[in-house]
Amino acid sequence: MKMTVTLLSSGLLALALTGCASQPAREAQQQLGQQSVLAVNWFQQSGEYQALTWQAFNAAQLAFDAAPSLTGKPKAVIVDLDETMLDNSAYSAWQAKNGQPFSAQSWSAWTRAQQALAVPGAVDFAHYVTSHGGTLFYVSNRDQKDYEATAANMKQLGFPQVTPQTMRLSTDSSNKQARFDAIQAAGYNVVLYVGDNLNDFGGATWHQGNAQRRAFVSQNHQRFGTRFIVLPNPLYGDWESGMAENYNKLTPQQQLSTREAQLRAWSGK
């Protein structure tokens, strides 16, 4: 009995066995989902979101053109996929409506359904790069086992250069630095990184807390808009798990408390 209680109090197990989660855990998970509703509404409904993505890709195009060419080294652009080129907000909406945490299983099912949309401006930018002598590398932490479904979804949306050579999905680590290094080592002049997560700009912030993540931004502030292009993503990201050590292993109740504790609020009149 003691062991049962100990195991049930483990957030990891509570998340892994959603069907067996306690009533308070289920209610907390529902509440976590409800807190995402306005972010999903903004992402799916606002013109402002779409204006920001166009702004990002217009800046990316200018930066691509302005980057100096190096003799013998073809220009390359490294882009992330999810919430950079692909809009998966219907998966976030499903989570919010059903009180579901992220899981590798449901994410893979969503991926295989091939219902992701293109982020506004993404397809145009991809064609601009490839029609102006550039190579586009899609470096994503989607799982390699979902390569075929991802490639089919992207081709159907009109993305160019979708090949096993240019689309580098995750095979071991979610730290993208090794994949970035391999592209450089293959002789490419990587002029631009495009993503919605600081991880998309190198390994420096991988698994770091938000204080370190903000410090990275401060230290590299001159690169944003020229070498690093950021897409807005209020739905999820390492900024959320950056709010507490082992955030993804906390119980839903602990995650709710963490979110509340991290608010910087006016004390009131």
Residues that bind Mg ion (CB under 5 A): 80, 82-84, 196
Collect contacts of 258-261 with beta carbons under 8 A, ≥24 apart.
259/35
Contact in structure between 118 and 85 (CB atoms under 8 Å)? yes
Sign of CA dihedral 124, 126, 129, 130: negative
Q: Least Å distance between CB 14 and Mg ion?
A: 27
Q: Least Å distance between CB 111 and Mg ion?
A: 13
> Closest-CB residue for Mg ion?
82
Nearer to Mg ion, 82 or 146 (CB): 82
Nearer to Mg ion, 28 or 116 (CB): 116
Nearer to Mg ion, 21 or 78 (CB): 78
CB atoms under 10 Å from CB of 137, counted, come to 23
Nearer to Mg ion, 83 or 87 (CB): 83
**Residue 224: φ, ψ to 5°:** -75, 125
Residue with tokens 């999905």: 169
Bridge partners of 132? none
Q: How far apart are CA 80 and CA 60, in angstroms?
A: 13
Q: Least Å distance between CB 37 and Mg ion?
A: 21
Nearer to Mg ion, 80 or 87 (CB): 80
Closest CA to 161 of 76, 88, 86: 76
Q: How far apart, in Å, are the Cα atoms of 67 and each of 119, 125, 196?
A: 24, 15, 21
C-alpha of 242 from chain center: 14
Q: Least Å distance between CB 234 and Mg ion?
A: 13
Q: Least Å distance between CB 249 and Mg ion?
A: 21
Distance in Å from the first CA to the final CA of the chain: 50
Nearer to Mg ion, 225 or 237 (CB): 237
Q: Least Å distance between CB 82 and Mg ion?
A: 4
Nearer to Mg ion, 82 or 87 (CB): 82
**Residue 115: φ, ψ to 5°:** -110, 10
| 102, two tokens | 């992220």
